[in-house]
């Protein structure tokens, strides 16, 4: 199971695709509600906790090379580490269902309104399960190629939409003030920045492991650059007031300009690539994490039953998009932050203390 490896470049692109993921639909609306024009500063401040995650995971990977987060949790803390790993697996599972739900919402709202949502879930899980069964190395190469295409289309969309921009919408630059900017950065720290925790299941798979920290940071920077370009389109074209009332601000932005029917097709393709990459990482972390926790030799027997379980939870999670949006904005930061930063921080401190105590023994 652990003989598959990816390059640092593939790792970087997976990080970037994961970081953009479904957040390109949800984050602009929520962030503009918090910070208005100050959303750009919120993005900058959110980069601080992203560096912390990179340091935690890279340091733990150096202390316990060749082991996933689930494996070295038990090595560091023993039985409590197994419980901590189980919490991580739950988080990966829950996030998988949420991402799948986001994909279903987008497809139903913009393209296939008459198609039952469970059918959309089934198709997405089937595609991702096929990639999981093919292995991380094969999926990493394929998704890296798709990322180049997605980045290219994103750049073309930016070029086509900016002539409709009104840059006076970016004033005042502080929006609702520093407190609202801080609230926006805290939200970004939980979604999508803190969700990079799931790369604790992949970081040990990099061939040239000495470049893990910089690849992690560069991948986050690329995701932040793509995200900033989306905020720029949303705020300058829609304005902060309209953007804050939109369910999916970037879709409303594209719909508000001439030729929107032509632009929505490449946008949907780009978003689907980003979303599938994110769902793949979440699905992979859940399945492989449970396989490592149960000390199984291969994760593949878990792929199909795990996918079926994710579909079931995605169906029953929320009654509608409004309830889902409310959960994302109100409850997600308080729920996710202890998982996203508490788990790696606890493991990092415990591992450092363990090494320090062992080093002092005669």
Question: What does each of the 362 residues of the chain score in pLDDT, given as a tens digit?
Answer: 556 889 888 899 899 999 988 888 888 888 888 888 888 889 889 989 999 999 999 999 999 999 999 999 999 999 999 999 999 999 999 999 999 999 998 888 877 888 899 999 999 999 999 999 998 888 888 888 888 888 888 888 888 888 888 888 888 888 788 889 999 999 999 999 999 999 999 999 998 777 788 889 999 999 988 888 888 889 999 888 888 888 788 888 888 887 767 777 888 888 888 899 999 999 999 999 999 999 999 999 999 999 999 999 999 998 888 888 889 888 999 999 999 999 999 999 999 998 888 865 54
Question: To which residue do tokens 């149960």 refer?
Answer: 294
Residue 90 lies in a domain: yes
pTM as predicted:
0.93
Residue 356 lies in a domain: no
CATH classification of the domain holding 205: 1.20.1740.10
Give me the half-sphere count of Cα atoms (radius 13 Å) on the Cβ side of residue 174: 4
Q: Choose among 203, 235, 173: nearest CA to 31.
A: 235
Contacts of 254 (CB under 8 A, 6+ apart): 157, 161, 260, 263, 264, 267
What is the count of structural domains for the chain?
A: 1
Contacts of 241 (CB under 8 A, 6+ apart): none
Residue 267 lies in a domain: yes
Residue 360 lies in a domain: no
Q: What is the DSSP letter of 7?
A: -
Tokens in use for 353?
A: 């203390």
Residue 113 lies in a domain: yes
**CA-to-CA distance for 287 and 306, rounded, in angstroms?**
7
Report the Cα 2 to chain-centroid distance in Å.
23
Compute CA distances 221 → 9, 54, 101, whole Å.
14, 12, 26
The boundaries of the domain holding residue 302 are: 8-342
Q: Are 248 and 109 in contact (CB under 8 A)?
A: yes
State the Rg of the chain over Cα.
Answer: 20
**CA-to-CA distance for 327 and 331, rounded, in angstroms?**
5
């Amino acid at each position: 199971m652990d003989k598959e490896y990816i390059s640092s470049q593939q790792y970087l692109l997976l990080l970037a695709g994961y970081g953009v993921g479904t957040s390109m639909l949800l984050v602009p609306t929520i962030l503009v509600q918090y910070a208005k024009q100050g959303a750009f500063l919120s993005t900058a401040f959110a980069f601080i906790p992203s560096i912390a995650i990179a340091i935690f995971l890279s340091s733990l990977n150096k202390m316990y090379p060749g082991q996933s987060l689930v494996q070295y949790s038990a090595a560091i803390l023993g039985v409590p580490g197994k419980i901590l790993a189980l919490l991580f697996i739950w988080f990966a599972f829950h996030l998988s269902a949420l991402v799948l739900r986001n994909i279903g919402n987008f497809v139903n709202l913009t393209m296939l309104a008459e198609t039952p949502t469970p059918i959309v879930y089934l198709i997405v899980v089937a595609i991702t399960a096929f990639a999981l069964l093919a292995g991380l190395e094969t999926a990493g190469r394929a998704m890296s190629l798709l990322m180049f295409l997605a980045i290219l289309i994103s750049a073309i969309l930016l070029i086509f939409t900016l002539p409709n921009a009104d840059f006076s919408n970016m004033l005042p630059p502080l929006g609702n003030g520093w407190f609202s900017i801080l609230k926006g950065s805290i939200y970004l720290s939980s979604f999508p920045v803190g969700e990079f925790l799931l790369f604790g299941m992949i970081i040990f798979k990099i061939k040239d492991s000495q470049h893990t920290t910089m690849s992690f940071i560069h991948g986050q920077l690329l995701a932040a650059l793509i995200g900033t370009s989306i905020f720029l389109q949303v705020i300058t074209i829609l304005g902060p007031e309209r953007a804050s009332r939109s369910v999916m601000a970037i879709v409303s932005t594209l719909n508000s300009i001439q030729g929107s029917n032509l632009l929505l097709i490449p946008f949907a393709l780009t978003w689907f690539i980003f979303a599938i990459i994110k769902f793949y990482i979440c699905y992979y972390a859940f399945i492989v994490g449970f396989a490592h926790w149960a000390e199984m030799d291969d994760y593949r027997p878990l792929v199909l039953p795990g996918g079926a379980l994710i579909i079931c939870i995605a169906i029953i999670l929320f009654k509608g998009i409004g309830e889902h949006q409310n959960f994302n904005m109100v409850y997600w930061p308080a729920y996710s932050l202890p998982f996203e930063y508490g788990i790696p921080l606890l493991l990092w401190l415990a591992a450092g203390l363990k090494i320090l105590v062992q080093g002092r023994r005669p």
